[in-house]
Structure 1
């Protein structure tokens, strides 16, 4: 038996290959970022009064969560994540009630997770590529004011800045290690 889902496959940006190359430039495994993003998602959840907030990087086939407050999620397939749609929008994407949105209303994974409302803002690299999302989810219908949407975008910018700063520190350490090797 084949289960039907309204979201079959997932949409990709026209420049998906370049986007993935940009994402690959961030050495996430080597960056000491977990505590920073845990604090950030705690602040976001508290600020918006939502059930779940997360920072996620959108890989080729899945979205990996760098931090998630309010749920114990590590990743979702791109077919199941709303961020695949959100990343294609310039502005914050808000879905006030997933049951009323034909793109997601029959997505069993979202229903199983108890997600009723969603807002997501892009994490945009300096070259303009969207590599991830900062999102808030709730278990009830919810709208977001223009000011709240702007605040969510600021949180996404902050998450991107954390990645950029940590990557710069890692690269400077590697450069310093190389110089030390040459001096020996």
Structure 2
């Protein structure tokens, strides 16, 4: 018996094999089906997907055998991986000097006929084989050989998919950890900034109360500007906190939600000081199974914008909802300032605004619509806007059922 040679690239080959994290895993349907097809097409009782590590030949799928591995020194597949470009064929092992006294030939499972297709990864490393075995001499025609090659390609495709899935899982876990760290940082930073800002506003109010008659009009205007800037910065911090919580919001539990009831509740949380008219133009029975907190946050932002960025004597906001098999489509329509055509995509980007000043003089921070877009997409939907300056805006978004 001739022992198989060790490939010249053995160290790198073993490293590549371990990157698939597949050794000693449980049987899986995808591989079982491939060996079943190989056995049926080639009309043989045994078909294997093998992987060669340092000391053994391990079977990811072993149709026709009860064992899960054999020593590498006696493995036919350990010979096959040394010629990555060709099929390894042994028509009758009893007449082959390399194998005639091999224990796998002289004893169970009596490997007489063997054909192995090397499983070569994209980097050129032979990880193992897809092989077929018979206990008597056998011959494959060209159709069977071509089919076996195609099945071997599919084995490698499944291997590569597994490797990419593992890498993606690791990446997702890293992102989740980073998000947790960023959320914690945002909370701490916000707490540390909001406290001195509140002190600034309080001290300015106190200063004006005690020294209003001493400071001239220009000085009072400067103090008002400082106070306004501090309040704007405080709002910006609140907005960043809300935006940073999107991933957490979307991970919370889902429930059945009636749109009419949710929008009525959201409208009560919106600042409506002044003349505002809400209209809900849809069937009151439309419901969806989704995340309540996320959907409520979307409506609060859009309803608030319809009022805040509005120059009409009466701010009008209309909500329309319709449902189909896959999505619920919602339109939030206002009669506000409108958005220039060139700004209609930009307004959904973080820290981007389309107007300098809102209805009651406050300035936008460019976080609200970015938050809305993030939440809508997190719920499997899409958002867009149609708008005309001086007429109003129609924000249309979908939520996947």
Structure 1: distance between partners of 2:160 and 2:25: 10
Question: Does residue 105 of structure 2 align to residue 110 of structure 1?
Answer: yes
Whether the 8 Å contact between 1:122 and 1:153 is mirrored in structure 2 is no
Partner of 1:3: none
Question: Does residue 94 of structure 2 align to residue 99 of structure 1?
Answer: yes
Q: Which deviations, in whole Å up to 9, do the C-alpha atoms of 1:141-161 show, x marking residues without a partner? A: 012223322221211111011
TM-score for both structures, normalised by structure 2: 0.43
- Structure with higher RCO (Cα < 8 A, 6+ apart): 1
SS in 1 for 2:127: strand
Report the more deviating stretch, 123-132 or 166-175.
166-175
Partner of 2:39: 45
Report the more deviating stretch, 78-87 or 24-33.
24-33
SS in 2 for 1:183: helix
Q: Report the Cα offset of residue 18 of structure 1.
A: 1.2
Larger radius of gyration: 2
Q: Report the Cα offset of residue 10 of structure 1.
A: 2.6
Correspondence list, 1:100-179, <5 A? 100-112=95-107, 113-179=109-175
Report the more deviating stretch, 107-116 or 15-24.
107-116
Q: Report the Cα offset of residue 29 of structure 1.
A: 5.5
TM-score for both structures, normalised by structure 1: 0.90
Whether the 8 Å contact between 1:118 and 1:135 is mirrored in structure 2 is yes
Q: Which deviations, in whole Å up to 9, do the C-alpha atoms of 1:86-126 show, x marking residues without a partner? A: 11122111111110111000112332112110000010011
Structure 1 residue runs without a partner (length 5+): 1-5
The 4+ residue runs of structure 1 with deviation greater than 3 A are 29-33
RMSD of equivalent CA atoms: 1.7
Partner of 2:79: 85
Structure 1: distance between partners of 2:120 and 2:12: 13
* Match of residue 61, structure 2, among 47, 63, 67: 67
Return closer, same or farther for 1:136/1:171 CA change in 2, 3 Å cut-off.
Answer: same
Partner of 1:19: 13
Structure 2: distance between partners of 1:80 and 1:63: 9
Q: Which deviations, in whole Å up to 9, do the C-alpha atoms of 1:10-31 show, x marking residues without a partner? A: 3111111111111111111697
Report the more deviating stretch, 98-107 or 12-21.
12-21
